[in-house]
Amino acid sequence: MTFPDTGYRSVARYCDDYLTRLARAGASIDRARLTRAAGLLDAAFARGAWLFVCGNGGSAAIANHLLCDVAKGVQTDTGVLPRVMSLSANMEIVTAIANDIAFEDCFIHQLRTAARPGDLLMTISASGDSENIVRALDWAVANGLDGIALTGFDGGRSAPLATVNLHVDGDNYGVIEDTHQSIMHMLSQYLRQSKMTDARIAERKF
């Protein structure tokens, strides 16, 4: 069974149970894998590599939000100049590829055009099983890119393909996506503050 598995007549009760599951999802994040993902991002930005990120639906919104928080946020008060591209952001090319070729290729086609060995791909998919996500990740790791996959449920086909699988133990799309959003914030804010002095950190809002 998945949450919710019965009806609720009180939004307050639903809130309590949702937040309980959200806390469990956050606790399930593998800290060693999170550390490795942060290292991959830090190293990629240090060598001037590109970070490509993609997702569908709510995960596309997280990918686009990541572009903002990493490309703009990480360089604030630091000497880091992250190069980030959301493959979900340009609806013109996404819909052109989907219409003229196949929706399953809307991310892989962009990667073939722009990505080079040494770059990094981050995929965001609650199911981990979206075909366009799996194809993009498979292409990336076969062409010299490390892959970070954010997944939920059982991890889908993305989990074993990724260099690092940041899996969230959850069975509700909202809970999983909320936790993926939190992982994005953790990584971007961690990388930013890691390049700042304690005095500057105390002066700033994150």
Tokens of 13: 């009760």
Q: Is 164 helix (H, G, I), strand (E, B) or coil?
A: strand
- pLDDT value at position 135? 98
Q: How confident is the model at residue 119 (pLDDT cuts 50, 70, 90)?
A: very high
Mean pLDDT of the 115-136 span: 98
Within 10 angstroms of residue 204's Cβ, the number of other Cβ atoms is 11
Domains identified in the chain and CATH numbers: 30-203 (3.40.50.10490)
Mean pLDDT of the 193-199 span: 97
Mean pLDDT of the 161-190 span: 98
Q: Give the model confidence (pLDDT) of 60-89 as tens digits.
A: 999 999 999 999 999 999 999 999 999 999
- pLDDT value at position 17? 98
Going from the C-alpha of 179 to that of each of 173, 183, 197, the distances in angstroms are: 10, 6, 28
Q: Is 147 helix (H, G, I), strand (E, B) or coil?
A: strand
Tokens of 151: 């997944």
* 204 vs 206: CA distance, rounded Å: 7
Contact at 8 Å (CB) between 54 and 133? Answer: yes
- pLDDT value at position 1? 80
- pLDDT value at position 138? 97
* 23 vs 154: CA distance, rounded Å: 18
